[in-house]
A = this chain, B = another copy of it.
Amino acid sequence: MPLLVMKFGGTSVADLSRIKNAAAKVKREVERGYDVIVIVSAMSGKTNELVGWVEQTSPLFDAREYDAVVASGENVTAGLMALTLQEMDVPARSWQGWQVPIHTTSAHSAARFVSIPRDNLDAKFAEGFKVAVVAGFQGLSAEGRITTLGRGGSDTTAVAFAAAFGAERCDIYTDVDGVYTTDPRITEKARKLKRIAFEEMLELASLGAKVLQTRSVELAMRYKVRLRVLSSFEDTDENSGTLVCDEDEIMESRVVSGVAYSRDEAKMTLLKVADRPGIAAAIFGPLAEAGVNVDMIVQNISEEGFTDMTFSCPVNQIKRAEKAISEARVRGAYEYGELVVDDAVAKISVVGIGMRSHAGVAAQMFAALAAENVNIKVISTSEIKISVLIDRKYMELAVQALHDAFQLDKAS
């Protein structure tokens, strides 16, 4: 029997009527001949309620107990979803993490999968059950304690089950109807992509297209799990949403797939630091220890024996970065002339696997920005992505210009 994994997030199971709506989508797939593993999140708001209780009880909480409390939200949804399916005459059974069992590491609240044995679920499918409803986001440690995977872990659970059971596809039902060429709030010309490669999705996700958790896309890429993102709140069929898949499955010959942005970035430049081996480690080690999420890094020669070091980080981490830098200087880790902070920049990126084989994408991007008189402050490139920092006030303009320049509004 072919098997599908279907995952419903918190807003998709927020109340009994939404659970019913989700169950109807499951039933349709059963009628098409699939066995289905459904992964559910907690009803939206429930996880926050449970986390709130834990944090109020114990600010420096024991993660084992945190996990035991918080995982109960998904258990409730799993039972209610199984009951809803039964009411629709679909034989269904709920599964908590320890019942499957979903073996994970003992890193509570950030556990990783160790193995998902198929025996128990397979036995139930063989008995005639058509649907296994699995509580997402949780597992079982070797010590017999409940673990959780951290926020967003339900997506990862879905991909892991799809890999373990050789599912034909893993459908992630969410509150958006797919992955777009850019944010539709910035340009109406944004177009939903039918397909996108894993690598592209990873770049878009980490750049702020918050449709899928990065870890779930990584896992899907590693195990070649075909992921589909589609809406819980619309009628959907085989062609709905966006398929995230191996680039071999993407026929369209496009160079750029999307334009991503990140609004609240800061640019920090250390002027006149000694140009010596180990200077980068001396600067970025303390920043990492302080928990500053350094993103782009650019180094320029300024004058003989000195260099300027520029990096970007989220705007709300400026204070933390400044503190780490001045403490490092006091400790004598390195010297510098001046620290220049620009707290009004945004990052724009164009992403596409086609760049690998097409030269001139960067030049085309810079030309499009120049035509709008947008000054580029920092440039950083990878194999399938070009990112620039620009003044924040030009962000929307730049996204629109690049979307037009690469003709993303036209199906390729």
* Residue A79 lies at the interface, judged by CB distance under 8 Å to chain B: yes
Give Cα distance in the complex from A155 to B68, angstroms. 23
Most buried by B among A66, A79, A86, A87: A79
Give Cα distance in the complex from A379 to B86, angstroms. 50
Binds B, one of A92-100, A157-165, A279-287, A290-298: A92-100
Give Cα distance in the complex from A82 to B16, angstroms. 31
Q: With A68-B75, A75-B72, A76-B72 as given contacts, are A83 and B54 in contact (CB-CB < 8 Å)?
A: yes
* Residue A80 lies at the interface, judged by CB distance under 8 Å to chain B: yes
Query: Given B57, B93, B144, which contacts A19 in the complex, CB threshold below 8 Å?
Result: B57
Q: With A56-B16, A57-B16 as given contacts, are A78 and B86 in contact (CB-CB < 8 Å)?
A: no
Give Cα distance in the complex from A86 to B66, angstroms. 12
How often does this chain occur in the complex, in copies?
Answer: 2
Is there contact, CB below 8 Å, between B72 and A57?
A: no
A78 to chain B, nearest CB (A): 7
* Residue A50 lies at the interface, judged by CB distance under 8 Å to chain B: yes
Number of A residues, CB within 8 Å of B: 35
Q: Give every chain B residue within 8 A of A54 (Cβ-Cβ).
A: 79-80, 83
A79 to chain B, nearest CB (A): 4
Interface string of A114-126 (1 = CB under 8 A from B): 0000001000000
* Residue A223 lies at the interface, judged by CB distance under 8 Å to chain B: no
Give Cα distance in the complex from A82 to B53, angstroms. 13
Mark out the residues of chain A between 64 and 115 whose CB falls within 8 Å of any chain B CB in the assembled complex: 64-66, 68-69, 72, 75-76, 78-80, 82-84, 86-87, 93-94, 96, 98-99
Q: Give every chain B residue within 8 A of A120 (Cβ-Cβ).
A: 144
Give Cα distance in the complex from A94 to B146, angstroms. 11
* Residue A304 lies at the interface, judged by CB distance under 8 Å to chain B: no
* Residue A239 lies at the interface, judged by CB distance under 8 Å to chain B: no
Q: With A98-B98, A144-B99 as given contacts, are A68 and B58 in contact (CB-CB < 8 Å)?
A: no
Mark out the residues of chain A between 34 and 76 whose CB falls within 8 Å of any chain B CB in the assembled complex: 50, 53-54, 56-58, 61-62, 64-66, 68-69, 72, 75-76
Query: Given B65, B79, B80, B99, which contacts A79 in the complex, CB threshold below 8 Å?
Result: B65
Is there contact, CB below 8 Å, between A87 and B16?
A: no
Give Cα distance in the complex from A56 to B78, angstroms. 15
Q: Give every chain B residue within 8 A of A56 (Cβ-Cβ).
A: 16
Give Cα distance in the complex from A80 to B61, angstroms. 10
Query: Given B58, B64, B93, which contacts A87 in the complex, CB threshold below 8 Å?
Result: B58
Give Cα distance in the complex from A145 to B120, angstroms. 12
Most buried by B among A64, A68, A76, A82: A68
Q: Give every chain B residue within 8 A of A145 (Cβ-Cβ).
A: 99
A265 to chain B, nearest CB (A): 38
- Measured CB to CB, the nearest residue on chain B to A59 is B87
Give Cα distance in the complex from A140 to B178, angstroms. 41
A53-B76, A69-B76 provided; 17 other pairs, C-beta below 8 A? Answer: A16-B56, A54-B79, A54-B83, A57-B80, A57-B87, A58-B86, A62-B82, A65-B93, A66-B83, A68-B75, A68-B94, A68-B96, A69-B80, A72-B75, A72-B76, A99-B145, A120-B144
Chain A residues packing against B (C-beta within 8 Å): 16, 19, 50, 53-54, 56-58, 61-62, 64-66, 68-69, 72, 75-76, 78-80, 82-84, 86-87, 93-94, 96, 98-99, 120, 144-146
5 smallest CB-CB distances across A and B, nearest first, come from: A69-B79, A72-B72, A68-B79, A58-B83, A57-B83
What are 22 A-B interface contacts by the 8 Å CB criterion?
A16-B53, A16-B56, A16-B57, A54-B80, A57-B84, A57-B87, A58-B84, A58-B86, A64-B93, A65-B79, A65-B83, A66-B79, A66-B83, A68-B79, A68-B82, A68-B94, A69-B79, A69-B80, A69-B83, A72-B75, A99-B144, A99-B145
